[in-house]
Amino acid sequence: RNSQGEACVAASRVYLQEGIYDGFVKKLAQRMESWVVGDPFDPRVNQGPQVDKVQCERVLSYIDHGKREGATVLTGGKPCGQSGYYIEPTVFTDVKDDMIIAKEEIFGPVMCLMKFRTVEEAIARANDTRYGLAAGVVTKDIDVANRMTRSIRAGVVWVNCYFAMDSDCPFGGRKMSGFGKDDGMHALDKFLAVKSVVTPVYDSPWL
C-alpha cells in the first residue's frame, strides 16, 4: 500500500475552509522546506522514490497537466536527486475540481489544495469523484465530525488523524476504489463460499 513515494490513501485532494486557507498554505510551504526525499530505509527520510521509470514519468505528466490547466505550483514540481525516480513534494494551489490533477489518481507526491465555505459544499465536493477509498476530517466540532463521517462515501474516514491502521479495522473502498475488505471480521468473507439450499415445504406450489 505504501512505498513512501506512492500511497493508495495519500491525501491528494485537500479541502480547506476559506478562513484558514492562507495560513495553512504558508505553514505547508514552510514544512516542505525541511521535507527530506531519499532512501526510504533512512529513518530521516520523509519520502522515497516512485516504483519505476514508467510511474515516475506518469506522475511528472500529471504535474505538467496541472501547470497547463492553470493550477499554481506552491512547492516542487520537478524530479530531484542525481539518480533514481525521485520527485520533489509537489503542492498545487488554485486547483479546480474539474482539473485532471483533482479528478484522477496520481499515486505520487502531489497534493491539491482547494477552498470551501460550508460543510454542505465540502461534502458534495468530496463525494464528487469516481473513487472512495479513504478520507480524513479535521475539526474541533463533534457535530461536524459526525455529519462528515456519515455523509462522505469512502471505505474509511479518519477523524483528526490520518493513515491510522489496525488489524481489527476493516479496510477497503467504494465506487471505483474496489470492493471487499482487508482486516477485521469482514475480511473473512472472501475466504468463505456461501451456498443456498432451498427445500420446499408441505403444500408448497413448487411440489
User: What does the pLDDT look like over 78-94, one tens digit per residue?
Assistant: 999 878 899 999 999 99
Residue with cell 505547508: 28
What is the total residue count of the chain? 207
* Structural domains in the chain, sorted by start: 13-191 (3.40.309.10)
User: What does the pLDDT look like over 43-92, one tens digit per residue?
Assistant: 999 999 999 999 999 999 999 999 999 999 999 999 998 788 999 999 99
Cell of 85: 525516480
- What share of the chain in percent tops pLDDT 70? 97
Q: What is the pTM for the complete model shown?
A: 0.88
- The type of residue at 156 is V
User: What does the pLDDT look like over 127-174, one tens digit per residue?
Assistant: 999 999 999 999 999 999 999 999 999 999 999 999 999 999 999 999
Indicate whether 202 pLDDT > 80: no
Mean pLDDT of the chain: 93
> By the 8 A CB rule, do 142 and 135 touch?
no
